[in-house]
Chains A and B, each alone.
Chain A
Amino acid sequence: MSFYLDIYRYDQAVDDVPHRDRVECTIPPNMTVLDALEDVKANVDGSISFRRSCRSAICGSCSMNINGTTGLACKTPVESVLRADNSVAVDPMPNFQPMKDLVVHMDPFWDKYSRLKPYLQPADEDSAHATERRVSPEDMHKLVAVANCVMCATCYALCPVVSVDPAFAGPAAIAYAYRFIEDVRDSKRKERAAQISDDYLWLCAHCYACSYCPKHVDPQDDIIAVKRATIEEGLIDAPGPRHALVVAKTIKHTGMLHETEVIQGTVGRFNIKGLIKVAPFGIRLALAGKIPPLFLKPVDKVNEIAVIFDTLEAPVLA
């Protein structure tokens, strides 16, 4: 088949601004975007730069934007992304600084990963340990999906929170925190929970953009589990956990998420500075006639809801 690759070109060493090359590419059917790039590099223009190694979705090197959305080039068949004008656009991953062509500076991603101390920290030293550390199949099952992470950074590139606040750890790092927090051999559960909380765990916007993980790690569920772990570890004096717990409280008592109480409970009833910060939004709503009730009438049979919370011992804000 014959089609056009529309390639982002930039070299930080010489270029002030990027430009694009449109290169005709002829490859056999059922080939991938990475095959096409390799063909173009070998036969048309050897100066095109991109990362790749295994070509089979194991190394995680060839993540890039393909027609505006991030994925692994080696796992994306050309036919599946061919646009109406018989072309495929390839760009460097967003949320990273471009280095050359499709290669980006990965440092912020690795830094966030390193901060987690991403290795097992058992209670006793290896040298003092006579036998292997055993893990039940049930406990191991929780770690199987996250073990498939190849650190391709697709989730990080797709994350809308990273795009507006680079301080956010991002999905992959939180998934790795989960990997050790949920490992029964590890002894640093609380320290790890505190570390990832400091790295803005609770800034996850619940958008599920990381559900596009090419390895089906699907970090969104791990992120939720890590949040639960931080609450279990008593790390609740921050807007994120307070928000979750006050939502739980208002649902338990009224059946509804009571907006006005949730705002006060999250910011802190006596946090005058914080309340002043959220005031403009509230005043704007009120001026538009959007005035949430100060007191809510509970839903019918609200006592049943407390039964559910109590049976499950579900925590609520004190």
Chain B
Amino acid sequence: MTAVIETPQIKRQSKSAQMRKYGFFPGCVAKESCKELFNSTILLADKLGIELVELTAASCCGASVLNDTNRDVARVLNARTYAQAEALGLDDVITICSTCTGHMRAANKELLESEAHMGQANAILGKFGAKYNGGVTVRHLLWLLIDDIGLDALRKMVVNPLRGLKVAPFYGCHIIRPESVNGWESSRNPHSLEDIIEALGGEAIDYAGKTRCCGFHVQLEKDGIAPAMVGQNMRMAKDQGAEAVLTPCPLCHLALDGYQADSAARWGRTDLPTFHLPQLVGLALGIDPSLLGLNKHIVSPGLVLQAHDLAPAHVA
């Protein structure tokens, strides 16, 4: 018997939310090395009955490094992205990366709080006929799931519950810190990922590493730093009984998935498969697992998924 899924009512009052149509900023990594994140996001949006309108002219958010070269350029680039969303009549821009979330929100905050910054941005945007009026809110898909769809509605949509799968949430820094920029939930004790994991029928693991850094942004600066940070955090998760990790950030995904092999010598083998947020939500909501890119992981989630009867052997 196939469960009939009703499209949930959207709770948020923004124009985008009411139209069920959002500006979509996938970010660079979801278009390059983590295409499975992009693809699973599109499939999940379809399942949720919302439309994600990709901002195809948008630039990189600055990725937390552009500020190291110039104090203004990232802010103005992001103003250009918001101007595109406004021109499409969209007031919510949805991201699927913690770093995009934090840096786009930081730029927006500066633009909205300083006439000088907004004036500078619009003077440059004016050279090619664009203007940002300050009407955009940047949010992560994680926040959309909780604020717009709601945990109760999500729970009702689950057709393939996670059957007690023990999942360690890993937030990534830029979706929670600094609180003055994000502030959607406590950065010291966030619980949105835990709420999602439990709504999907999984068990959320508590460990100190969940709000710590994955080391992605310094992986090329000096040998061994990122693997050590990954090893430290994954050891804590493993010791608390985690079978898998869930992250809203493809940069964290790359570091956690890619460096556990290097961290094993110092921190012991952890081998925790690291799911992108829309992969795990999509799996529980009944999206065909073979479409979620579960075979694109370095630490294969295959055994864990089979142990909980969540996906057949050939998909991961």
Interface residues of A (CB under 8 A from B): 68-69, 160-161, 163-165, 200, 202-209, 211-212, 218, 220, 224-225, 227-228, 231, 239-241, 243-245, 247-248, 251, 255-259, 263, 266-267, 277-278, 280-281, 284-285, 287-293, 296, 299-301, 303-305, 307-309, 311-316
Contacts and interface: CB of A to CB of B under 8 A. Distances in A.
Main secondary structure of the interface of A (DSSP, over half): helix
A228 B71 contact: yes
Given A203-B218, A280-B261, A308-B76, 17 more contacts: A164-B215, A218-B178, A224-B68, A225-B71, A227-B68, A244-B68, A248-B73, A256-B31, A285-B33, A285-B254, A288-B298, A290-B35, A291-B33, A300-B57, A304-B57, A309-B73, A315-B70
25 contacts: A161-B225, A164-B229, A165-B224, A203-B225, A205-B213, A205-B218, A206-B64, A208-B177, A209-B173, A218-B178, A228-B68, A244-B66, A247-B60, A255-B59, A256-B32, A280-B261, A285-B258, A287-B298, A288-B257, A289-B296, A290-B33, A290-B34, A301-B57, A311-B127, A314-B70
Give 3 nearest A-B pairs by CB, closest first: A207-B213, A208-B177, A300-B57
A308 B296 contact: no
Interface of B: 28-29, 31-35, 56-60, 62-73, 76-77, 80, 102, 124, 127-128, 130, 173-174, 177-180, 188, 208, 212-213, 215-225, 228-229, 232, 254, 257-259, 261-262, 295-298
B181 to A, nearest CB: 9
A291 B296 CA distance: 10
Contacts of A277: 223
A255 B60 contact: yes
A233 B59 CA distance: 28
A212 B228 CA distance: 23
A121 to B, nearest CB: 25
B174 A299 contact: no
Main secondary structure of the interface of B (DSSP, over half): loop
Given A160-B213, A284-B298, A305-B59, A278 B220 contact: yes
Given A259-B28, A291-B33, A160 B229 contact: yes
Contacts of A312: 70, 72-73, 76, 124
Given A160-B229, A164-B228, A248-B73, A288 B297 contact: yes
Given A208-B177, A266-B220, A314-B73, A290 B68 contact: no
B56 A299 contact: yes
A287 B216 CA distance: 20
B70 A228 contact: yes
Contacts of A245: 69
B177 A243 contact: no
A247 B65 contact: yes
A240 B124 CA distance: 29
B220 A239 contact: yes
A286 to B, nearest CB: 9
B212 A160 contact: yes
Contacts of B67: 224, 228
Residue with the greatest number of chain B CB neighbours at <10 A, chosen from A205, A228, A277: A205
A304 B80 contact: yes
Given A161-B218, A164-B229, A209 B28 contact: no
A193 to B, nearest CB: 13
Given A293-B32, A308-B76, A207 B177 contact: yes
Contacts of A256: 28, 31-32, 59-60
A160 B215 contact: yes
Contacts of B59: 251, 255-256, 299, 305
B218 A204 contact: yes
Contacts of B208: 68
A296 B32 CA distance: 9
Contacts of A200: 221-222
B213 A209 contact: yes
Contact of B69 (A69, A293, A303, A315): A315
